Amino acid sequence: MAKLSLFARRRRRVRTALKAVSGHKPRLSVHRSGRHIYAQVIDDAAGKTVASASTLDKDVGSKALGKTGASTEAAAEVGKRVAAAATAAGVTRVVFDRGGFLFHGRVKALADAAREGGLEF
């Protein structure tokens, strides 16, 4: 078996812990690239995406993306939008799946904004 990167090890550890405590709640999954940030609420039991938002959305990206890519303000806007979309779909309780990303900066800003938007985790 090939040696896993630190990122892959963190992602595996986070997902394993989430499955143990999720209680079959949907998960709020976050992906961060150098330029954009993506969030989606996934119902793993049904295999469906319930709600999603990203900085690629026309009205989010244009005002919050700088020269270097997504900022914490853009991430907070994505968090608000995914919370609103999930609430509209009837989901209020989720588990937060940060993947292999550390919980600070853009990921933390997205999580805080999603909590303010009405999601509980």
The Cα 62–Cα 64 span in angstroms is 6
Q: Which domain holds residue 68?
A: 6-15+22-116
What does the pLDDT read at residue 67?
Answer: 60
Q: Report yes or no on 1 lying in a domain.
A: no
The whole model's pTM is what? Answer: 0.89
Residue 79 lies in a domain: yes
pLDDT of residue 64: 60
The answer to whether position 110 is within a domain reads yes
Any residues with CB less than 8 A from the CB of 118 and at least 6 apart, and which?
83, 84, 87, 92
User: Which CATH number fits the domain that encloses residue 80?
Assistant: 3.30.420.100
- Nearest 5°: phi and psi at 64? -115, -10
The mean of the pLDDT values for the chain is 91
